[in-house]
Structure 1
């Protein structure tokens, strides 16, 4: 299929195979005499492995100690023409959450510039008994004008009130998720000892709790 594509192309995901022994830790290593379709394809098509940032391995067998097996099964490959069009491309190996495979993120044009995050009402806020008071105080402010204008101003007032409350009292949900995600990625880089696995399970539980609270209810 890739040979039939005349223009630039990229393909990334789970290839279910490693191309060298250094992409595997634990278990039996491969044999030089064993056919490797992915390695042969990379050579025959002259394609480029896009590399990665983050944890070296993208799959694990959910075991620890001498029974642990970790492999780099997920990757991105591209034609040389595509690689030249996107010279800054980066593939991030993200933290594994409730899966034996980690998600991978392809960024074609990474930039240090950041844009303001649009307002989102976090589901976790609604489980806090103080949430109702934040809304009530925002809507009780006196606004003069047409019905449409008053409605718009009260909505804006509610958004601003939630932003301040989230920052000063509730605790920034996205920041907590970011910290947990970083900690999860770091522990998954370590050897899968019993102690490290216990830490990972605890971080997974914390991440699940905050992800559940990060469901977007409205914009």
Structure 2
């Protein structure tokens, strides 16, 4: 079928089994293949082997276009559903909402409060998660 293996970045193995040195086996079983036409269309595409977390297979991440890092100050405001799980969020929302002003102005003030809270409190959770995933990846690459 003339398929092309797209290669990868990250851990060289995508499957592992066994806990002890005598029973441990690891292989690169999982791959992303494409045809020549697709490879030409997405020349910047890359494949990353993510860390083993809940399975004996590592998830594969296909990114078709390069990641673009923009100016965070210019990004539009986005509500994060994960905020709802944070134990401080409901109190922050209740304390921040001003019923005595125009709804549009109240929303703008709330946006500023949530941006600050996200940066100071919630983003630390995201940063910790990213740090832990990076640590897991480094440990798995050493083995």
| TM-score, shorter chain, exceeding 0.5 | yes
State the TM-score, normalizing by the size of structure 1. 0.55
Number of equivalences: 138
Cα distance change of structure 1 residues 160 and 185 upon mapping to structure 2, 3 Å threshold: same
Structure 1 counterpart of 2:125? 173
Q: Offset of 1:72 from its aligned partner?
A: 0.8
Q: Which of these residues, 97, 114, 129, is aligned with residue 139 of structure 1? A: 97
User: Aligned-pair RMSD on alpha carbons?
Assistant: 2.4
Structure 2 unaligned blocks of 5 or more: none
**CA offset digits 1:112-163 (Å, max 9, x no partner):** 34474733142431x24xx34311221136414xxxxx1x443443343233
Structure 1 counterpart of 2:7? 51
- Structure 1 position 119 matched with structure 2 position 61: no
- Structure 1 position 68 matched with structure 2 position 8: no
SS of the residue 1:91 aligns to: strand
Q: Offset of 1:68 from its aligned partner?
A: 1.3
| Native 8 Å contact 1:62 1:100 kept in 2 | no
Moved over 6 A (4+): none
State the TM-score, normalizing by the size of structure 2. 0.80
Pair member with larger Rg:
1
